[in-house]
Amino acid sequence: MRRPVLAALLLAACTPPAVDPVVETATVTADAETVAVKNGDDAADDPAIWRNAANPAASLIVGTDKQAGLYVYGLDGQVRHFLDAGRVNNVDLVDTPAGVIVAASDRTDNDNAHIALFRLNTAAARLEPLGRVPAGSGEAYGICLWATPTGTASAAVTAFIVIKDGSIRQIELDPAKATGRIVRSLKLATQSEGCVVDPRTARLYVAEEDVGIWRFDARPGGDVRPVKIAGIDKARLFDDVEGLATAAEGTANGGWLVASSQGDNAYAVWRLADERFVGRFRIVNGALGGTQETDGIEVITGDFGLDFPDGLMVAQDGENQPAQNFKLVSWGKVKKALKLP
């Protein structure tokens, strides 16, 4: 009676382990790159893009050097301005009737989070400090902004600041006074950082580094329970899950959610309309170097001039030499490589 059991055990021992499905990874090359940050290893982290609608080729990129401050770059990658802003980690910006507001997660004090606020002087390509807003206890890590237009110069700006332990605080900002009010708190179980809001659908996406991607209702009175969009499966998404970006298309919910799959130097893409996985790609060596171990990313659709007529992606390069920098890629090139409509 024991022989069938023994045979089954021997058969199980000889059966090869399950293999994760192979997911094809497309490749693209960078079209431009920024000047490297001043500091060496583990310095550049996260970019934000301001699109100049009147003169797209004059658009600007804001990037963090988390050991020193903030850079403003032109689309040629040259430094237009550097501001000694201390240990700022992630950055985002929104264009409001009161001007272009820039916010960075300020981790100068690891025990008490702050949001560093700036106005981007788009004519001079310079950052103008507005002040620091307390954001509760813990180490400030990720940040993303949501502008809620009111038709007045005092349009509401909401910040979601991600604390390193996975706490997420929703803060209503008054940039003119450099003040803020925590309106609610959200929570993921472990270390989290990247986040992005789709303002059309009021959806907040947050990356839990060793777990996957979650969606929250961004509205102040919305459900605080997260919905899991994607988990780490070592096929589509590898840990750490780092930067998140949305490439919005249309006025409703069209476009794409992009995530930095840092563990295998790739980027994974989901369709925003139904949050279905559609593909993945890498930025590989070409006329310029590729990207490795990417932290922050940003994607903005629309015309950025002759070099980027179909949108712009900016990705941090964690292994650029002699120091880290940001790579610029035509978003149209990515869509073509992934055969996206």
Per-residue pLDDT, averaged over 285-290, amounts to 98
State percent of the chain over pLDDT 70: 91
Chain segment 218-229, per-residue pLDDT in tens: 999 999 999 999
- Which domains can be identified in the chain, with CATH numbers? 20-338 (2.120.10.30)
Per-residue pLDDT, averaged over 12-30, amounts to 67
pLDDT above 90 for 117: yes
Confidence class for position 150, pLDDT limits 50, 70, 90: low
Chain segment 132-148, per-residue pLDDT in tens: 999 999 999 999 999 98
State the SS3 of the chain.
Answer: CCHHHHHHHHHHHHCCCCCCCCCCEEEEECCEECCCCCCCCCCEEEEEEECCCCCHHHCEEEEEECCCEEEEEECCCCEEEEEECCCEEEEEEEEECCEEEEEEEECCCCCEEEEEEEEEECCCCEEEEEEEEEEEECCEEEEEEEEECCCCCCCEEEEEEEECCCEEEEEEEECCCCEEEEEEEEECCCCEEEEEEECCCCEEEEEECCCEEEEEECCCCCCCCCEEEEECCCCCCCCCEEEEEEEEECCCCEEEEEEEEHHHCEEEEEECCCCEEEEEEEEECCCCCCCCCCCCEEEECCCCCCCCCCCEEEEEECCCCCCCEEEEEEHHHHHHHHCCC
Chain segment 206-256, per-residue pLDDT in tens: 999 999 999 999 999 999 999 999 999 999 999 999 999 999 998 899 999
* pLDDT for residue 98: 86
pLDDT above 60 for 53: yes
pTM assigned to the model: 0.92
Per-residue pLDDT, averaged over 95-118, amounts to 96
